[in-house]
């Protein structure tokens, strides 16, 4: 099983952000609202909301995949909590930001690919899914793959 689905974004979105935003939007309760690839000058960032049924499973899944113990770049990437100025769909403006830390440009893009691979690894890790009672019904998966 792999995370992701074809989501629609506006034409201003950095193409480098699409695969990670697709993977994040496939998690239950996670909805991306803004992103920037950093354009080789700044860190890669994706801002997202957490809301809805099973949203804690989606957030737990993501934090597990970004954790330094379970991903080689986890010591550099982080998820921070921030406050925005705009209410989205009636949700108070508390947002999360997933950031590449000091990684910029191609280094960050390569790490994004690695993170998506790690997320797919966890999605297909039967013991992880069972141990934490992850309900895969809330995940949007693009197709089944042999792992």
What are 70-81's pLDDT values in tens digits? 999 999 999 999
**For 25-36, how does the pLDDT look when each residue is reduced to its tens digit (9 = 90+)?**
999 999 999 999
Q: Which of 62, 78, 35, 39 is nearest to 123 (CA)?
A: 62
> Can you give the length of the chain in residues?
147
Task: Tell me the CB-side half-sphere exposure of residue 132, using CA atoms within 13 A.
Answer: 17
Burial of 98 from C-beta contacts in 10 A (0-12 / 13-18 / 19+): buried
The answer to whether 34 touches 47, Cβ cutoff 8 Å, is: yes
pLDDT band at 5 (very low <50, low <70, confident <90, very high): low
At 6 the three-state DSSP class reads coil
Model confidence, pTM: 0.89
Q: Which of 52, 3, 44 is nearest to 23 (CA)?
A: 3
CA-to-CA distance for 55 and 30, rounded, in angstroms?
Answer: 7
Q: Is the pLDDT of residue 117 over 90?
A: yes
pLDDT value at residue 146: 37
Residue spans of the domains in the chain: they are: 2-143
pLDDT value at residue 3: 77
């Amino acid at each position: 099983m792999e995370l992701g689905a074809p989501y629609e974004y506006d034409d201003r979105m950095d193409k480098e952000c699409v695969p990670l935003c697709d993977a994040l939007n496939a998690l239950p309760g996670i909805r991306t609202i803004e992103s920037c690839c950093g354009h080789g000058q700044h860190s890669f960032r994706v801002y997202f909301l957490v809301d809805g049924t099973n949203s804690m499973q989606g957030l737990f899944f993501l934090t597990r995949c970004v954790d330094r113990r379970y991903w080689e770049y986890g010591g550099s990437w982080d998820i921070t909590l921030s406050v925005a100025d705009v209410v989205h769909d009636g949700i108070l403006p508390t947002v999360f930001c997933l950031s590449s830390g000091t990684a910029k440009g191609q280094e960050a893009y390569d790490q994004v690919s690695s993170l998506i691979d790690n997320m797919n690894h966890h999605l297909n890790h039967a013991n992880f899914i069972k141990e934490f009672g992850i309900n895969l019904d809330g995940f949007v998966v693009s197709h089944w793959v042999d792992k």
